[in-house]
Structure formats: C-alpha cells, structure tokens
Structure 1
Amino acid sequence: MMTMRKRKRIAPEEGSGSVAESVSIGPLLADARRRKGWTLQELGRKSGVAIGTLSKIENGKSGASFDTVVRVARALEVSFEDILSPNGPKFASGRRAITRKGRGVKFGFNYYEYEIPCNDLVRKAMIPLQMTIKTRELMPRSKWQSHPGEEYIYVVSGAVDLHTEVYGPVRLEAGDSVYFDSMMAHALVNVGDGDAFMLSICLSASLDELFASNSDLRVERGAIIFDNGED
C-alpha cells in the first residue's frame, strides 16, 4: 500500500499581502537600513553611496539607479527582492500570489516596457515578466540583453523578430513561443501593427542578476525606468 509523505507547510509571514501592490523604493530602503540598526553615515560608508544621495532617496526627493539599490542591498546583506518586498513570504510550499491588472512593478525605456507581477513573493524559482515591445529598430549590440539562466517567451499579440548572437533572426507571431539560453545575447524588434505584447518567464537567480547588464536602470517613485541620468 502506497503511503504519502506529508509536506511541511510554512505559512506566509504575518502582514504579507496576497495581492501585489505598487512599490515606493525610498521608504523601503529606509526601513531596511533601520532594521539593520544603521545610520545614514554607516550605510554610506559600507555601500559607497554618498550620504546626501541616500537621504534624498529615502525622503523621495530623488530617484535611485539600479546600481545604487543593488549596492545598498549588498551592504545591508539582503537581496534586491528583499528590498522591494521585505515582508514577502520566503520560498515554501503552498505559496500563492495574485497581481491585479496593471498592479505589477512597471519600468521601461525606449525599446521595451516591463511589468513584474507577483512582486510580493521573494526568492521565486522563476521571474515572470509582462513585456511590451515598442521598438521597430534593432537596438545597438551593446544594449542586447544577456543574463544567466534560461528564458521562455510567449507572444500574446503582435509580431516580433528575435535576434540572438548565435542564430539568425526568427519571426514570432501571436501564439508562437520560444525557449532559449538567456546567456546568449538577445534582442527583440516589433514588426507588427501596434505594440507587441508577450509573456516572458525567466529562470534566473534574482532580479539583480536578470537586469545586471542595464547600468541605466533606475527606480523612482514606485516605478523602475531606464535613463542615462546620474544620482
């Protein structure tokens, strides 16, 4: 007779939401610093970020580049996901996250727009992304994405050409999908009528790793955007 072994269930931490909400990065950085018991001066010394910059970010007077957030997170010995969702349930059986339409963490730049759903869960085995491909020109080779892991793309609407450093471009239309090694540099171009919308699921260790090649990524007032500005 077959017996079934019970799986240990870990309840989400008290106060963690089951529905993703919008994110404001400044107060989250301040809370993470206070939980560590550090002053601004101590965080500035350990992260290498100017105290004035940290103060402006915490008080919502300035945006924070992705590099700045990662440097602060590393100094505090927490992950980027822990900064964005400090009370999110850690990896355990029985987890669930619901993201209402348009309530994910949004960011974008001239080529793509992203929305990260299920941001209230940290240390996920997969990173889901909703992507809108806007560009109709192939971005410079230096801007192509490359990150450890594997990626699955499903085109929901529109049509795109997928360019990679190993293969020739391939056209993907609504209903088409592709699974590939995401260490292979890649880029997407919209070739249909209107914007192209797709679902991307990445097997990557973290958001830090996923967007590490984008030095111009910024987090500002609850949104993550790309620009060339300096802190």
Structure 2
Amino acid sequence: MTDEYIHDVYPSMRIEKTQAAEHIAPLKLGERLKEIRVSLGLTLEEASKRTGLARSTLSKIENEQISPTFQAMQKLATGLAIDIPQLFEPPKTITASGRRDITRYGEGRPHPTSTYEHELLATQLTNKRMMPFKSHVRARSFDDYSEWIRHDGEEFLLVLKGEITFFSEFYEPIHLVEGDSAYYDATMGHMLTSVSEEDALILWVTAS
C-alpha cells in the first residue's frame, strides 16, 4: 500500500502529517546558548572566562556559524552550571500579555483594619503575581496586635513617610525611616508600628 493510496483514501492523514511537520522547528543551539547566557546575566567575555572557550568561539556558536564539539558542550555545561540536555531544550517564546492597570492617587480600594489603613492598588487585574498596596500604620505598640501576621509568599515594604519599627519573628526589632525598605519571607511572623508623630505611610508589595 503506497503513501499516495493512503493519502487518497484518508486525506486527513496527509493534513496531520503536514501540520506535524510545520510545528517541529529545527533546534537552534546557538539561539538556545544565548538565551541561557543572557538569563544568567553574563556578557560574552564573562561566559568566556567561565567556560574556558574563546569569546570569538562563543560568538560564532551563538550566531550559528559553527557547531560546538562535544568537548565544547561539556565546557559550556560546566562553566554555566547547567546540564548538557538543557542546551537542547527549544528556546522559550515570550508572549506579552498586554496586561496593565492604572491607579490614580487616592483612588485605590480602601481596606481598613484595627492596625492598618490599607489602600489596595491595581485592583482591576485578577490573578496577579504581585499584590501592591499602600498602608497607613495605625498601630503604636507591639501589644496592639493579638498575634503575629503571617501569610504565604514574600513581601517587600518601602517607607514612604514617617518612621516605623519593623518586628519579625526571628530578628530583633529594627527602626526604619523614610526611604528605608525591607524584603522578607511573609510566612515569618511580622508586624509594624508607627514611631513618628503621624501614622507612617508604607508601600507594600506581596508576591506569591
């Protein structure tokens, strides 16, 4: 039974074969190498020092002018701290989602608590990887809290106005003033108190 007979009787098989061929792109090792190098924040010169391969050689590999020998691939894997199979993974396609949200001054969603006056930002976006919000810190004493605050993810805070004491479960309390910031594991117990005359204003970003 010939291929032509099969295609004539089952035309869908011809379509499937054609579609499969269109979706299998040839591996571009140079493009993959450049993607790895850039993701590590390395220049060609820095990658050359790490791998022991000449800068010109790396450039030629990335531009598909030469193919690396197995020995060169071993040096690449060792110098870049990756496994050789990673060199053969297809390059990632980056597609912009086009998501954007603007929050005008004072137009965030209010969320008051006994210790904070939160203003949630970028509330039109759902399934965000980060949750930004501003907070006026009402609490003035450690005793204003009934228990540690803790939640999933990591958190960044920046003091926009005033002064605070940053309490955390595993560290001594620390005094932070306008312009100071902190990044920490949010599953660790934490809390803030204002130590300035007026309530301190904080920018918080929580990431899952």
Q: Determine the structure 1 residue equivalent to 2:125.
A: 121
Paired residue for 2:181, among 177, 183, 193?
Answer: 177
TM score, norm. by length of structure 2: 0.53
Residue among 156, 160, 164 paired with 2:160: 156
Alpha-carbon distance in 2 for matches of 1:96, 1:139:
40
Whole-angstrom CA distance in 2 between matches of 1:163 and 1:6: 43
* Aligned residues with identical type, % of pairs: 35
Alignment partner, residue 210 of structure 1: none
TM-score relative to the length of structure 1: 0.48
1:8 matched to 2:12? The reply is no
Q: Which runs of 5+ in 1 are unaligned?
A: 10-92, 205-231
Measure, in 2, the Cα distance between the counterparts of 1:161 and 1:173.
9
- Please report the RMSD computed on the Cα atoms of aligned residues, expressed in angstroms: 2.0
Shift of 1:197: 0.4
Supply the distance in 2 between the matched residues of 1:161 and 1:128 (Cα, whole angstroms). 21
Alignment correspondent of 1:165? 169
Q: Per residue, is there more helix in 1 or in 2?
A: 2
Where 2:95 maps in the other structure, the secondary structure is: coil
* Deviation, structure 1 residue 195: 1.3
CA distance in 2, matches of 1:175, 1:8: 35
Structure 2: any 5+ residue segments left out of the alignment?
Answer: 1-62, 65-90
Structure 2 counterpart of 1:106, which letter? P
- 8 A contact 1:111–1:139 mirrored in 2: no
| Residue among 146, 170, 174 paired with 2:150 | 146
Checking the alignment, whether the CA contact within 8 Å between 1:125 and 1:203 is kept in structure 2 is yes
2:111 matched to 1:107?
A: yes
What is the aligned length? 120
Task: Work out whether 1:132 is the aligned partner of 2:136.
Answer: yes
**Amino acid in the other structure paired with 2:192:** L
Q: Deviation per CA, 1:57-82, whole angstroms, max 9, x where unpaired?
A: xxxxxxxxxxxxxxxxxxxxxxxxxx
